[in-house]
């Protein structure tokens, strides 16, 4: 569980921004989105192939 301590004299918005950054680094939201719906193993393979293809396009 992530926690962010608001420092003395620190604006609340800055503390929220720090918390959001920590969530992004820990991949909490991305993990939640991935596990929200079932993805079959064949669909996972298809998605990974698609990601690799778009990451390194062939000329």
For residue 46, CA distances in Å to 23, 40, 56 come to 28, 10, 16
pTM of the entire predicted model? 0.58
Sorted by sequence, the CB contacts under 8 Å of residue 55 that are 6+ apart come out as none
pLDDT in tens, 5-54: 999 999 999 999 999 999 999 999 989 998 999 999 999 999 999 999 88
pLDDT in tens, 4-14: 999 999 999 99
As given in the structure block, the two tokens for residue 40 are 């079959």
Sorted by sequence, the CB contacts under 8 Å of residue 4 that are 6+ apart come out as 15, 18, 19, 22
């Amino acid at each position: 569980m992530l926690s962010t301590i608001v420092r003395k004299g620190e604006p609340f918005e800055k503390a929220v921004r720090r918390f959001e950054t920590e969530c992004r680094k820990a991949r909490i939201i991305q993990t939640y989105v991935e596990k929200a719906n079932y993805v079959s193993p064949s669909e996972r393979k298809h998605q990974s192939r698609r990601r690799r293809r778009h990451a390194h396009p062939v000329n």
